[in-house]
Structure 1
């Protein structure tokens, strides 16, 4: 570790500690505050490329933990409570979303990667908004969570397939990589089936994966083993690391129902340090001057508008669901601020050189603005549309 890296890590640790308090005072999501803090750091102490390998290492680890937690937080019990008809209807919501997202990227003369950006859905910021408004306890809040979970899974699936095609083109190599992806999921599925049977025969084994708070923290160790096992398996098959981490968390959530202790403990480690480092390092890729460029501002506004229009198109199919028509605007708004997933998608596309620095700056600016205005609009609409729900 160099002195330069040690200084940046110290500044990042300070930001990881103070930014949640400052962000709360400024009525900003913590991730937005951390990205802004990263921009401040790089503006005050600029650094050259490849000079902060240790910072990049911590950032990459935070990225993997973030995606593992994204999969781990999926509550499959909610899906089991749905009828097959209702589940298929919620999945079909994202067909018009995909169509409109693709059309808008073509109409605006943007790279196809923006279709994925416009399609992106994520549960990261929606959950605390529903909890703050106490809609998490309502039937509508639960259904909106399920729809968003489906959108997040489809976002990662589409991101994986299209990045493979982007890397290898429409060639036999692409077909081979997609075949590897299929093999990856089949092997994981069979492994989880075997693990479920083993746990049924010997339920005491669950404590190895779920026990936290003891001196050895076996639950935490087991989760890190699973995380890196899935990442390594994905690397062997030349699949994106992010897919391995997300699927690892998702499979753990599918097998182990009583994972709240692990989720809290791992979330404390991740959100306490490593994940803020990731968001701060994302902010270090841009400067305030980048955000002040006319092209960046215009593109950011187009991204925000496209996010909402594509999600609004998807709510048309919900006219055939049990969700009241007057609440469909809330669904469209609730799906339009996928802050964490937008940052993840833009980071992957930037690393793959599918979007340039100007476009990355626009996506980051759009993700931060949407994370500020759409939750406020959601809460305001909810208070008017659902007065009987005692919305806060």
Structure 2
């Protein structure tokens, strides 16, 4: 019992301190949480406690639900550039895996490298005051579109891995689509009820609700998405992401409710997932020149996989310099590379050693490329002045 309390205390100390260090060194908190997990479970703790595996899974599911909630389909649709955003993501998810396959590397490794996420891009753009600029909105549009496509690709891979190129895979995808269509209808009905009772909704979404009814309902939704995916034969985290997208689409205005969601997720549950990812990093792998070399090569390939905005600068109505800046910032998909590596290892598509290289790639890309983007953004400001 005392050992469990001590290990829990060490984990929570990291959860509390890491945001301050991340702000000080201007690196993503998730990156430092992965490093902390590697140090903690390789140097101080002998093995992963049973309770930690449960909290890690809860954090994983809630991370994907929040990622789905951040996907604003209405904003993407109103941008007028949705087709170009989709084309950039589509090129990445077709050409990159084929390049890997053509040189004898696992096709799934190319898929993992092609992952796109908004988790790093949005905070960096906010920090630099570019979130409302044309370039900032285009980066967010591509990142959000790419994040949705990333999950859809992982869903297809999961279905075909479980059933092969058979009707079973088609049935799994069909069941998943049907279940989430029903979830959409249920949430639409809930929205109509809320429309008739605005005072009740305001209490949940805006006011200081002492028993946090809304948060309790939302956590239930997050894990209901995982159960729906399980019912369809898919991975739970894919379901939680898709239900997050559905929830975001139905409830467009969430007020302070969204702040509470992020506080629960990023303040408590989600760090357990990233620390858990770090706990799987073996120092023997990290000390291997081969693993480090693979990670460096994959970090470069992440950038290569995101160079397609250079080809579409004209239709996007941005300069080549701005397009290159977009390529740089899109090359920091920390959470999605980690998610892909985790799923790939679970499905047996990549070895634990390659998963370790992917995690190291995610760390390198999420430190190097945002730093380079900051440098480019400051130079552009200086030249503009």
Correspondence for 1:24: 23
Correspondence for 2:362: 367
Q: Is the 8 A contact 1:96 1:314 kept in 2?
A: no
Size of the aligned set, in residue pairs, is 385
Q: Distance in 1 between matches of 2:380 and 2:25?
A: 27
Q: Distance in 1 between matches of 2:246 and 2:25?
A: 37
For residue 311 of structure 1, report the CA deviation from its aligned partner. Answer: 0.8
Identify the match of residue 120 of structure 1 among 105, 112, 115: 115
Cα deviation 1:268-288 (Å, max 9, x = unaligned): 111112111111111010133
User: Residue 251 in 1 paired to residue 225 in 2?
Assistant: no
Cα deviation 1:146-165 (Å, max 9, x = unaligned): 11100000000001111211
Cα deviation 1:187-209 (Å, max 9, x = unaligned): 23333443344444444453365
Cα deviation 1:212-261 (Å, max 9, x = unaligned): 52112111112112212222222222221112211222122111122131
User: Residue 267 in 1 paired to residue 262 in 2?
Assistant: yes
Change (3 A) 1:199 1:273: closer
User: Structure 1 residues 326-335 or 109-118, which shifts more?
Assistant: 109-118
Give the TM-score normalised by the residue count of structure 2.
0.93
Correspondence for 1:71: 68
Cα deviation 1:66-118 (Å, max 9, x = unaligned): 111111122344224323xx211211122221232112221342212112212
RMSD of aligned residue pairs (Cα, Å): 2.1
Q: Distance in 2 between matches of 1:389 and 1:177?
A: 53
Q: Distance in 2 between matches of 1:364 and 1:341?
A: 10
For residue 360 of structure 1, report the CA deviation from its aligned partner. Answer: 0.9
Cα deviation 1:340-379 (Å, max 9, x = unaligned): 1111221121222221111011011111111111011111
Identify the match of residue 82 of structure 1 among 76, 79, 84: 79
Secondary structure of the residue aligned to 1:359 is: helix
User: Residue 111 in 1 paired to residue 111 in 2?
Assistant: no
Secondary structure of the residue aligned to 1:109 is: coil
For residue 40 of structure 1, report the CA deviation from its aligned partner. Answer: 0.8
For residue 313 of structure 1, report the CA deviation from its aligned partner. Answer: 2.6
Correspondence for 1:166: 161
Q: Distance in 1 between matches of 2:189 and 2:265?
A: 29
Secondary structure of the residue aligned to 2:234 is: coil
Identify the match of residue 343 of structure 2 among 336, 340, 348: 348
Q: Distance in 2 between matches of 1:217 and 1:323?
A: 45
Equivalent residues in 2 for 1:331-346, closer than 5 Å: 331-346=326-341
Correspondence for 1:9: 8
Q: Is the 8 A contact 1:38 1:283 kept in 2?
A: yes
Q: Distance in 2 between matches of 1:389 and 1:355?
A: 46
Q: Distance in 1 between matches of 2:153 and 2:329?
A: 21
Q: Distance in 1 between matches of 2:185 and 2:24?
A: 48
User: Residue 220 in 1 paired to residue 187 in 2?
Assistant: no
Identify the match of residue 89 of structure 2 among 80, 94, 107: 94
Secondary structure of the residue aligned to 2:312 is: helix
For residue 139 of structure 1, report the CA deviation from its aligned partner. Answer: 2.0
User: Structure 1 residues 356-365 or 86-95, which shifts more?
Assistant: 86-95
Correspondence for 1:56: 53
Cα deviation 1:46-68 (Å, max 9, x = unaligned): 534xx622101111111111111
Q: Is the 8 A contact 2:113 2:337 kept in 1?
A: no
Secondary structure of the residue aligned to 1:361 is: helix
Q: Distance in 2 between matches of 1:182 and 1:314?
A: 31
Give the TM-score normalised by the residue count of structure 1.
0.92
Identify the match of residue 234 of structure 2 among 236, 239, 250: 239
Gaps of 5+ in 1: none
